[in-house]
Amino acid sequence: MSVAWQFYFSTLLIYLAVNVMAVWGLNLQFGVAGISSFAFIVFQAAGAYTAGVLTLGPSTNASFQQYVGGANLPFPLPVIAAGLVGGLLAGLVGLVGIRRLRTDYQAMVMLVISLTATYLADNQTNVVNGPAGLSLVPKPLEGGLGLSTISYQWFYVGLAAAFCVIIYWFVRRYTNSPLGRATRAVRDNEQAAAALGKNVFGLRMIAFVAGGVIAGISGAVFVEFIGAWSPGSWLYPETFVLFTAILVGGTGNNVGVAVGALLVPIGFLESTRFLPNIGYPGFVDALQWIAVGVLALIFLWFWPRGVIPERKRRFPHPGEKPVGLAALRLLRLRR
Amino acid sequence: MSLLVASIGFGLVTASILAVAAVGFTLQFGVTNILNLAFGDVMTASAFVAYIATSNGVNIWLAVALCALFGAAFSALLNRFLYTPFVRHGTKLFGMIVVTIAVSLIIQNALQAIYGASFFSLKFSAGSSYHIGSMVFTTSQVGIMAIAVVAMLGVYSLLKFSKLGKAMRATASDPVLARSCGIATDRVIDVAWLLSGALCGIAGVALAMNVTSFTSTTGGTFLIAIVAAAVLGGVGQAYGAMLGALTIGICSEVAAGVIAPSYKQVVAFVVLVLVLLIRPQGILSEVADQKEVAA
């Protein structure tokens, strides 16, 4: 493979890893807990800004970008901090947004939160450098390893994959645990879950904050790689792309949504990269957004449960003999 | 002090535009139970219609009428051929939001693909200025306010006194019951979308007249204020939306004048957050309570 292709594929893989992490986070909030989290991209943005600022070092009057809270932390720390900030912000948004709101009403409120956050970041020029955003964020360990540019690319692919593995382990544990089961119960029938003594708000909040942490980490992994982050990179349609990925993949299914992330943000948006440049700059982008919108409509109409639907979990009644797969699983457990 | 009064003057203009938009938005929800997040983008589309018209020498007030027609037709068709089929297909609340956001993205980017991501201004003369205390209004601003007042009075009397308005309110509160009482709910819904679409079109031109320049995302950003006004008044409540628009319009312009211009949208947002924390169903909450949007 020529160097240019290697460069292209490794970059694509890193984008994929970031998107897969993001859809797992969103799936936890929306697919598992049933929260219409249309502000998701804000948590990713918060993570990206945090990681960027903590890697860039203190902002001085002489430097060309103005931001708050700069520091020079060594590699894993900015990512961890990004996760914490993402979770914290999700907690704050959750206090307003996760009340007993009808799902469409909630989506509208979250969307307004997202719009306002972008507006604020754009207009408060001294917090995260306004519309220009952060740039020249140094890549982690780049100097210390002494790798060539292309080897570093593959090193970063490994790094992003490692984060993916950790997060997959986490979301799998989460969704298969009693906690995940209770959260799904809240999603499917809030009143019934409450009647069984489940803390509806608490369960939703835990899923929401966990999703926020994952979003923050995904943003950090992204910004440490591309080195720049501005309000233009996290407009609300980006959340819509992730939602489309979840709808296409299969709401609530961790494997399904990962496939969705492969198909929609990567496959769909990247496939047009090799089109000849028609029209003015930005013309193809506009067409892409239109296509994403149409794709979401098509899937909602024909396959609302996605290509790999959530597995319907069956539990035997007490006293009832388990049948089929459930019996097999129980047998395996007993052994 | 004079700054404050001047800001209130600007606030009255913003509130007029906002009232027209918010009443349209809330009517769509009230009658058909759809939160149409593409509302702002239909406004932008109307602003572009006005841009084409005024660039070809059409009088601005004629353009307003043209946009009302465009908004009405566009919204009614959107509901008839996209939203309603999805609802009949069994798409639930969250799915419908995805549908409206998809439509919003499609409109916004279609406009951008056609016209590019540059700034546009309507060609019209603002007319002479009038001074009332330290408030200053241009003729076009007075015109906007007059249109808003007429539109609001029109909506009020329609809902309050006409048979059609009664049918609309009946459809809003219980479509099945309304149908079995012999109300042609489909036709009532069409009329409601025509009406709210006309308001949407008028608000779009008025917004483009009031800001110095607009882009393909102007209406989408204005959605923050529309949603805040509608939620403050109790979503689905036409009179509540008027009240909410007045509050948010004036508060945001005063904040912009007294604190900093960038606080304009933030005020709308803060009001929205406060309403959600204290009284998520809004001030006038009959419809919101009935449809169980919030508790």
Which residues in chain B are contacts of A124 at CB distance < 8 A? 262
Q: What is the mean pLDDT of residues B67-79?
A: 96
pTM of the model: 0.89
Distance CA A197, CA B162 (A): 50
CB-closest option in B97, B262, B291 to A107 = B97
Position A7 pLDDT exceeds 70: yes
Q: Which tens digit of pLDDT belongs to each residue from B254-266? A: 888 888 777 777 8
Query: B159: Cβ–Cβ under 8 A, 6 or more apart, which residues?
Result: B165, B168, B169, B238
CB contact under 8 A, B113 and A115: no
Contact B240, B26 (CB under 8 A): yes
Q: Which tens digit of pLDDT belongs to each residue from B101-135? A: 999 999 999 999 998 878 998 888 777 888 887 78
CA distances to A140, A143, A155, B17 from A162, in Å: 15, 21, 11, 52
Average pLDDT, chain A: 86
- Please report the ipTM that was assigned to this predicted complex: 0.88
Q: Which tens digit of pLDDT belongs to each residue from A40-96? A: 999 999 999 999 999 888 877 666 777 887 778 888 899 999 999 999 999 999 988
Q: Which residue type sits at A79?
A: V
CB contact under 8 A, B228 and A112: yes
Question: What pLDDT, on the 0 to 100 scale, is given for residue A242?
Answer: 94
Question: What pLDDT, on the 0 to 100 scale, is given for residue A179?
Answer: 95
CB-closest option in A102, A289, A293 to B294 = A102
Question: What pLDDT, on the 0 to 100 scale, is given for residue A323?
Answer: 61
Contact B80, B15 (CB under 8 A): no
The half-sphere exposure of B15 on its side-chain side, counting CA atoms within 13 A, is 21
CB contact under 8 A, B231 and A115: no
Q: Which residue type sits at A305?
A: R
DSSP assignment string, A161-226: HHHHHHHHHHHHHHHHSHHHHHHHHHHH-HHHHHHTT--HHHHHHHHHHHHHHHHHHHHHHHHHHH
- Which of A9-23, A109-123, B262-276 has the largest mean confidence? A9-23
Query: B243: Cβ–Cβ under 8 A, 6 or more apart, which residues?
Result: B232, B233, B283, B284
Task: Give B219→chain A minimum CA distance, Å.
Answer: 12
Q: Which residue type sits at A31?
A: G
Which residues in chain A are contacts of B113 at CB distance < 8 A? 279, 283, 286-287, 290
Distance CA B203, CA B197 (A): 10
Q: Which tens digit of pLDDT belongs to each residue from B217-265? A: 889 889 989 999 998 888 888 888 999 999 999 998 888 888 877 777 7
CB contact under 8 A, B227 and A108: yes
CB contact under 8 A, A108 and B35: yes
Position B295 pLDDT exceeds 70: no
Question: Which tops the pLDDT comparison, A243 or B130?
Answer: A243
DSSP H stretches of helix in chain A? 3-26, 40-56, 76-97, 103-123, 142-145, 149-176, 178-188, 190-195, 200-226, 236-249, 254-261, 269-270, 283-302, 324-334
Average pLDDT, chain B: 88
Question: What's the DSSP call for residue A322?
Answer: P
Query: Please, which residues bridge with residue B120 across strands?
Result: B214
Confidence of residue B57 (pLDDT cuts 50, 70, 90): confident
User: Tokens for A174?
Assistant: 């989460």
Distance CA B62, CA A25 (A): 51
**Residue pairs between chains A and B whose CB atoms are closer than 8 Å:** 128
3-state secondary structure of A113: helix
Chain A within 8 Å of B274 (Cβ-Cβ)? no
Spatial CA neighbour of B140 closest among B206, B199, B53:
B206
CB contact under 8 A, B113 and A290: yes
3-state secondary structure of B121: coil
DSSP H stretches of helix in chain B? 2-32, 39-55, 60-78, 84-89, 93-115, 139-161, 163-173, 175-180, 185-210, 218-233, 238-258, 264-278, 286-290
Task: Give B285→chain A minimum CA distance, Å.
Answer: 14
Q: Which tens digit of pLDDT belongs to each residue from B191-225? A: 999 999 999 999 999 999 988 889 988 898 899 89
Question: What's the DSSP call for residue B132?
Answer: E
Spatial CA neighbour of B165 closest among B175, B173, B155:
B155
Q: Which tens digit of pLDDT belongs to each residue from B27-39? A: 998 888 889 999 9
Question: What pLDDT, on the 0 to 100 scale, is given for residue B267?
Answer: 84
Confidence of residue A326 (pLDDT cuts 50, 70, 90): low
Position B292 pLDDT exceeds 80: no
Which residues in chain A are contacts of B96 at CB distance < 8 A? 104
